[in-house]
Amino acid sequence: MTTRVEILNDFLAINVKPGATIQDIVEKAGSGLPFGCRDGECGTCVVEVVAGMEFLSPKTEKEEKVLKIVEATNPCKTLRLSCQMKIAQPNGHVRLKY
């Protein structure tokens, strides 16, 4: 009962259980995705969810605020903050790009 997470820039893929944070997954997998505050305030960890948004936790209030600012210069509507989202559903496939 895992979901597969791919980090496209790093050619990494890992199977994780629901509840796992993307931040933990990225760090354990050895990805080069940068982090700053790790608290949903700086926007450093923004990623594009290429596929599998439905397997992720809903956006937090902090995340919504930061993404409004980020989206002002990047119109992509599938951006998320890695430090704020978790895997919410099993048997999925999430593809991320940074």
Residues in contact with ligand FES by CB under 6 A are 35-38, 40-45, 66, 81, 83
CB of 61 to ligand FES, least distance (A): 13
- Nearer to ligand FES by Cβ, of 42 and 53: the residue is 42
Return the structure tokens found at 58. 């809903």
Q: Nearest distance from residue 59's CB to ligand FES, in Å?
A: 12
Q: Which is nearer to ligand FES, 16 or 45 (CB)?
A: 45
Kindly tell me the burial class for residue 69, based on how many C-beta atoms sit within 10 Å of its own C-beta (0-12, 13-18, 19 or more).
exposed
Residue 76 CB, nearest approach to ligand FES (Å): 16
Q: How far is CA 98 from CA 21, 50, 81, 92, in A?
A: 16, 10, 10, 20
* 16 versus 85: smaller Cβ distance to ligand FES: 85
Rounded distance between C-alpha atoms, residue 68 and residue 94, angstroms? 22
Q: Between 2 and 44, whose beta carbon lies closer to ligand FES? A: 44
Neighbours of 40 (CB within 10 A): 21
